[in-house]
Amino acid sequence: MTDKLLPPKKKNPQLRQMVPTLPPQMRSRAALGLTAAAARGAFSLQHCQECGAVQYPPRDACCACLSVDLAWRKTPREGTVIAETRINVSPDPYYRERLPWRSGLVRLSAGPTVLCHLHGDVGRGDIVLMDLKLDKAGQGVMIALPQERSPDMADDPQLRELTAHPKHRRVLITDIRSPATRPLIEALLKAGASQIFVGESESWRRGSDHAAIAGLDKVSVMPLDVSDPSSVKRLAAEIGGKTDILINTARHVRPGGVLGSDTVFAREEFEINALGLMRLAQAFGPGMASRTADGVNSAVAFVNLLSVHALSADPQYGAFSASQAAALSISQTLRAEFRASGLRMINVFAGPTDDEWHQPLPPPKVAPKALAMSIVEALCEGLEDVYCGDVAKDLEERWRRDPKVLERELAGGA
Amino acid sequence: MSNPLDQLASALAGGTVEIVDLTHTLDPDFPVIVLPPEFGQCARFRMEEVSAYDGRGPAWKWHNISMNEHTGTHFDAPIHWVSGRDVANGAVDEIDPSVFVGPVVVIDCSEGAASNDDFELTPEIIDAWEAEHGPIPADNWVLMRTDWSKRRGAEYLNMADDGPHSPGPTPAAIETLLKRNIRGFGTETVGTDAGQGAHYVPPYPAHYLLHGAGKYGLQCLSNLDRLPPKGAMLIAPPLKIKGGTGSPLRVLALVPAGSGSGETK
């Protein structure tokens, strides 16, 4: 059984903070399929379309028949540990700081034998469940997990390196007015977050849940308006050094297409949804990126909520969709910029949310609680792209199949 | 012939005429009017640094700023309201600049506003003021003092589930002021109308009646407790915005020294 992870002690202010290092990064292009699967939480391997062989590690041709017709498919997760190794000495800067490190060979029920990380609860001869995770370098790597979940399983040091678990971490949620904020606070506290900061813009307007939320244990409401550079900088100066997870719930939605409107609402949508994300990243990002090796409560993730229409516009929400596409693009750049630090950029995509701006739309709509659960799951599992709810999952699948067909379908009258 | 401004210059230099700033600081977090969310909203004041003696501009610091015409302490031109849309020269760039400097009277409603958030300026209050100070002269600015400018944060808009609660004039009060042929009307609150002004007939009487009659508005004023009931001079020139319906501005008053009511309730 995994030892329970204890809350971090106060830091010794005379010791230098650990500088982030990354595990080995060189990979073949074919191996990036592992990254793509791990980012979404899928366990996929290369399947030969000619002979049906499943292979690992990924290659450009089938190891059995040399066909180049290889497809990434979901693959059964079961396997058996046939060998294990405990590494006590390593010349690699990343692993040196984390020794001992256990790895092993697992024979998958799907065929191949893989070299993988071992969770502390598994050993030679065990039947295991395999998972693909992103490591700090953003590479898809395999870890063998026990078949039976145990209460503190996520506290395993090797597994925790591969996730962005909120346990003992301090979280900033940027907008108290988002319907997702309240259930998100509850889910994060349940997952073990040690402190939650909640941003509140324009307290002079009243109408937020200020009193109810500020009264919660371990929760502090702080002034934050993502559309105001000085406000974002002020809060980053105050709590930027202890923000381990940032969840951007600030969002501005107005219905309407592009024609028959002006750019006033669109400007507000871009100010908050796109430029607000940039302001948050500029103010909090460098500080978080410098703290990704800072012990139990190291900085670990920057979470952005997006409409799934970032992928393909909903013409009923034309300007809003455009702001979401912009935010998605910004998040991709941020992901590249955070890569050297290992700070994870997580995008949670949702379909229409169950709020006043989507009121006339028919169900299914994403409930705030469901969105909160998806966000916390993404952190606990270490995902990078999450599609919350049936509409988002369906749209992503159709987009993956053929973006042009989806665009035409969303245009209506097909 | 002597220059009348010489006298003013020596009064200013000698301190017998003081300059009082009636303006709030333009601050990103200063309240603006809040409309139902499906309407377009008043843009907040925003400031972003372009450079600050750094790589973006080594020897200079400057900012880009943005806001609505009606953000912060601001001027309302007649074309701001539908009733004034056809008023000749009703945009800020068209208004005769002599309008921007002129005498001002102050009606003190601070005592009533202190105990009643929805305090109303009525014809009776105007009559009482005139009984004490004489008739409101034509072409004067009239300011309603409530000391509302001393409120901070959520107390300023004072928003509740049934809308904001702040003092303002009744329709009859505005009609009374129009009979005096005033130049314009100003308040310390976020608008010239009461927080609950939508429920009068006509709705928003200060906006509707004043601008329909070609008069001007000033709002988010401060320091009105430093003005005398009459005898001060107001300087309130809006930015010369082409076709502008209003403008943020710096409002100053020339006040005979020692004449301010000086009361803080």
**Does residue A74 sit in the same domain as residue A118?**
yes
**Confidence (pLDDT) at A339:** 95
**Does residue A288 sit in the same domain as residue A151?**
no
Pick from A204, A225, A264: which is nearest to B40 by CB?
A: A264
- Residue A327 within any structural domain of the chain: yes
E strands, A268-389, in order: 301-307, 344-350, 385-388
- Residue B262 within any structural domain of the chain: no
Average pLDDT over residues B131-142: 98
Residue B84: which CATH number?
3.50.30.50
Residues of chain B found within 8 Å of residue A204, distances taken between Cβ atoms: 29, 31, 153-154, 156-157
State what percent of residues in chain B have pLDDT above 90: 96
Pick from B28, B157, B160: which is nearest to A230 by CB?
A: B28
**Does residue A273 sit in the same domain as residue A358?**
yes
In the DSSP assignment, the letter for residue A29 is T
**Does residue A231 sit in the same domain as residue A355?**
yes
**Confidence (pLDDT) at A118:** 97
Are B157 and A205 an interchain contact pair (Cβ–Cβ within 8 Å)? yes
Q: Count of CB contacts below 8 A, A vs B?
A: 42
- Whether residue A364 is preceded by a cis peptide bond, meaning omega within 30 degrees of 0, is yes
As for how many domains chain B has, the answer is: 1
Helical pair A368-381 and A181-190, crossing angle rounded to 10 deg: 40
**Does residue A332 sit in the same domain as residue A192?**
yes
pLDDT tens digits, B204-225: 999 999 999 999 999 999 999 9
As for how many domains chain A has, the answer is: 2
- Residue B264 within any structural domain of the chain: no
Give the C-alpha separation, A46 to A65, whole Å. Answer: 13
Residues of chain A found within 8 Å of residue B46, distances taken between Cβ atoms: 227-229
Tell me which residue has tokens 């020596």. Answer: B10
Chosen domain end from A160, A186, A208: A160
Give kind and range of the element (H or E) at residue A173: strand A170-173
pLDDT at B233 over 70: yes
- Residue B234 within any structural domain of the chain: yes
Residue A360: which CATH number?
3.40.50.720
- Residue B224 within any structural domain of the chain: yes
pLDDT tens digits, A48-60: 999 999 999 999 9
Are A265 and B40 an interchain contact pair (Cβ–Cβ within 8 Å)? yes
Tell me which residue has tokens 């028949």. Answer: A65
CB atoms within 10 A of CB B172: 16
**Does residue A183 sit in the same domain as residue A149?**
no
**Does residue A130 sit in the same domain as residue A272?**
no
**Does residue A138 sit in the same domain as residue A238?**
no
- Residue A13 within any structural domain of the chain: no
**Confidence (pLDDT) at B1:** 65
pLDDT tens digits, A192-227: 999 999 999 999 998 888 899 999 999 999 999 999
Host domain of residue A53: 32-160
Confidence band, pLDDT 50/70/90 cuts, at residue A26: confident
Pick from A204, A225, A230: which is nearest to B156 by CB?
A: A204
**Does residue A75 sit in the same domain as residue A125?**
yes
- Residue A336 within any structural domain of the chain: yes
CB atoms within 10 A of CB B53: 10
Q: Which 3-state string (H, E, C) describes A45-95?
A: EEEECCCCCEECCCCCCCCCCCCCCEEEEECCCEEEEEEEEEECCCCCHHH
Q: How far is A357 from chain B (nearest CA, A)?
A: 9
ipTM of the complex: 0.92
- Residue A23 within any structural domain of the chain: no
**Confidence (pLDDT) at B261:** 62
Host domain of residue B242: 4-51+59-256
In the DSSP assignment, the letter for residue A198 is E
pLDDT tens digits, A354-368: 999 999 999 999 999
- Residue A3 within any structural domain of the chain: no
**Does residue A252 sit in the same domain as residue A366?**
yes
- Residue A238 within any structural domain of the chain: yes
Confidence band, pLDDT 50/70/90 cuts, at residue B264: very low
**Does residue A299 sit in the same domain as residue A318?**
yes
pLDDT tens digits, A106-128: 999 999 999 999 999 999 999 99
- Residue A18 within any structural domain of the chain: no
Chosen domain end from A141, A160, A179: A160
**Does residue A142 sit in the same domain as residue A176?**
no
Give the C-alpha separation, A353 to B60, whole Å. Answer: 46
**Confidence (pLDDT) at A413:** 62
Query: Is B192 strand, coil or helix?
Result: coil
Are B41 and A268 an interchain contact pair (Cβ–Cβ within 8 Å)? yes
Model pTM score = 0.95
CB atoms within 10 A of CB A154: 20
Give the residue numbers in B contacting A (CB under 8 Å), as ranges.
Answer: 28-29, 31, 34, 38, 40-41, 44, 46-49, 153-154, 156-157, 159-160
